[in-house]
């Protein structure tokens, strides 16, 4: 692969991403009026530094478990 295997692969589970989208939509709808002139906030949702996973670890885990537990819609 043409990536730096030591860099953090900033991936977030889809259920957390959906929760963040719903929460930010609710907050924006509740706190910003239709004719409000101030900027609407921009949200950035990342995994952070609490449990980083490098691309090397990600590739290694995929090689180890990928064939045992394949994704249902994998295209090979």
Report the pLDDT value the prediction gives residue 70, as an integer from 0 to 100: 77
What is the C-alpha separation between 40 and 54, in angstroms, rounded? Answer: 33
Give the confidence band of 6 by pLDDT, cuts at 50, 70, 90.
very high
CA–CA separation, 42 and 32 (whole Å): 13
pLDDT at 73 over 90: no
The whole-number average pLDDT for the span 41-52 is 82
Residue with more model confidence, 67 or 75:
67
Q: How confident is the model at residue 18 (pLDDT cuts 50, 70, 90)?
A: very high
């Amino acid at each position: 692969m043409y990536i730096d295997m030591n860099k953090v692969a900033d991936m977030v589970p889809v259920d957390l991403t959906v929760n963040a989208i719903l929460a930010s939509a609710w907050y924006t709808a509740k706190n910003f009026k239709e004719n409000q002139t101030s900027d609407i906030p921009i949200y950035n949702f990342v995994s952070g530094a609490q449990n980083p996973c490098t691309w090397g670890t990600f590739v290694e885990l995929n090689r180890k478990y990928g064939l045992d537990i394949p994704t249902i819609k994998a295209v090979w």
